[in-house]
Amino acid sequence: MMLTIDNLTNEIDGKKILKGLSLSINTGEIHAIMGPNGAGKSTLAYTLGGRPGYEVTGGSATFEGQDLFELEPYERAAAGLFLGFQYPVEIPGVSNLQFLRESLNSQRKARGQEPLSGGEFIKLAKEKAGLLGLDMEMLKRPVNVGFSGGEKKRAEMVQMGILDPKLAILDETDSGLDIDALKIVGSGINAIMRKPGKAVLLITHYQRLLDYVKPDYVHVLAAGRIVKSGGPELALELEREGYAEVVAA
Ligand code: ADP
Ligand code: MG
Ligand code: MG
Say yes or no: CB of residue 236 within 6 Å of ligand 1.
no
| CA separation for the pair 104, 17 (Å, rounded) | 32
Q: Which atom of ligand 1 is nearest the CA belonging to 203?
A: 2
In the Cβ-directed half-sphere of 55, how many Cα atoms lie within 13 Å? 8
Give residue 249's pLDDT. 65
pLDDT for the residue numbered 175: 83
pLDDT of the residue at 207? 87
- Cβ of residue 137 lying under 6 Å from some atom of ligand 1: no
| Residue 12 CB-half CA count within 13 A | 13
Give the pLDDT confidence score for residue 168 in this predicted structure.
98
Q: What is the pLDDT along the chain (249 residues), one digit of tens a residue?
A: 999 999 999 999 999 999 999 999 999 999 999 999 999 999 999 999 999 999 999 999 999 999 999 999 999 999 999 998 766 788 899 999 999 999 999 999 999 999 999 999 999 999 999 999 999 999 999 998 999 888 999 999 999 999 999 999 999 888 888 899 999 999 999 999 999 999 999 999 888 899 999 999 999 999 999 999 999 999 999 999 988 888 776
Cα–Cα dist 51/83, whole Å: 11
CA atoms within 13 A on the CB side of 1: 13
* pLDDT at position 244: 85
**Ligand nearest, relative to CA of residue 243:** 1
Q: Is 30 left (phi over 0), alpha (psi -120 to 50) or beta?
A: beta
For residues 34 and 36, give the distance between their C-alpha atoms in angstroms, rounded to a whole number: 7
Please state, in angstroms and rounded to a whole number, the distance separating the CA atoms of residues 54 and 110: 24
What's residue 160's pLDDT? Answer: 96
Q: Are strands 30-34 and 142-143 parallel, antiparallel or unpaired?
A: unpaired
Atom 5, ligand 1: residue with shortest CA distance? 40
The finding on whether 41 has its CB within 6 A of some atom of ligand 1 is yes
Test site for ligand 1: of 8, 10, 15, most ligand atoms within 8 A of the Cβ: 15
- Ligand 2: centre distance to CA 142 (Å): 27
User: Judging by DSSP bridges, how do beta strands 15-25 and 167-171 pair with one another?
Assistant: unpaired
Q: Hey, which of 8, 17, 205 would you mutate to test ligand 1's pocket, going by the most ligand atoms within 8 Å of its Cβ?
A: 17
CATH-assigned architecture of domain 3-248: 3-Layer(aba) Sandwich (3.40)
Q: Are 170 and 203 in contact (CB under 8 A)?
A: yes
How far is Cα 55 from Cα 9, in angstroms, rounded to an integer? 9
